[in-house]
């Protein structure tokens, strides 16, 4: 994680209605809700990568009567963000959610939580090198359960990497379910489902934050 970025303060625009981050959050939450609704009654697993304060997943689960069927691990390195996510989890009574303070770029920290039915990769691909973005996407099939879904975000500021990311996902056996790129914003949100058998984990590290 980059030392020159205050990742706790970075979250403040989420509290500003209409801000790009607040708008992106609503889009991601809508897709999480749709994913849960598409799999009623199932016991589901989720991993949120560089989860921050966990607002996307926790904000959905706290309002759902079926939240107990979800087992989730939120991986985040920043101490204050971890504390905020833990407090949110406790307030909402989400006993199935684990907050792990750890480096999400190290796949050792996924042990026991993958393969996951839902992989949240929000706010990651815009803060790593293009090579690490490609390496991360290549690891998705080893982190997902059969038919698993990935929800990811990436800015479309130049140079726009989203066309390449969508192509990489297709190469790795993912079907695109949605790609939202609002014309009045630079963020994008993608939703992809694994259509090939999961692969074994063969890497130890997939990315390092560079922002």
Domains in the chain, ordered, with CATH?
Answer: 9-194 (3.40.50.150)
Q: Over 70: is that where the pLDDT of 136 sits? A: yes
Give the three-state DSSP class for 2: coil
| Tokens read off for 110 | 């996924």
| Lowest mean pLDDT segment, chosen from 15-24, 78-87, 100-109, 118-127 | 15-24
Q: Cα(173)–Cα(142) distance, rounded to whole angstroms?
A: 12
Per DSSP, what are the bridge partners of residue 118?
46, 149
pLDDT in tens, 8-56: 666 666 777 888 889 999 999 999 999 999 999 999 999 999 999 999 9
Cα 174 to chain centroid distance, Å, stands at: 16
User: Percent of the chain having pLDDT more than 90?
Assistant: 88
Confidence check: pLDDT of 144 > 70? yes
Please tell me whether the overall predicted TM-score, pTM, comes out greater than 0.85 for this model: yes
């Amino acid at each position: 994680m980059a030392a020159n970025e205050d990742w706790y303060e970075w979250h403040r625009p989420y509290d500003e209605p209409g801000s790009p981050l607040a708008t992106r959050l609503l889009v991601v939450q809508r897709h999480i809700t749709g994913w849960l609704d598409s799999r009623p009654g199932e016991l589901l697993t989720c991993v949120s990568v560089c989860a921050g304060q966990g607002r996307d997943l926790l904000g959905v689960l706290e309002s759902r009567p079926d939240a107990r069927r979800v087992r989730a691990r939120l991986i985040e390195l920043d101490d204050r963000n971890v504390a905020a996510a833990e407090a949110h989890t406790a307030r909402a009574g989400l006993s199935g959610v684990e907050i792990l303070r750890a480096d999400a770029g190290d796949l050792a920290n996924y042990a026991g939580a993958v393969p996951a039915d839902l992989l949240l990769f929000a706010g990651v691909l815009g803060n790593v090198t293009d090579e690490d973005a490609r390496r991360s996407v290549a690891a998705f099939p080893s982190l997902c359960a059969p038919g698993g879904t990935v929800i990811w975000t990436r800015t479309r500021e130049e140079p726009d990497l989203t066309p390449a990311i969508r192509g990489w996902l297709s190469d790795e056996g993912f079907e695109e379910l949605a790609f939202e790129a609002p014309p009045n914003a630079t963020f994008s949100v993608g939703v992809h489902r694994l259509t090939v058998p999961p692969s074994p984990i063969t890497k130890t590290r997939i990315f390092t934050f560079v922002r």
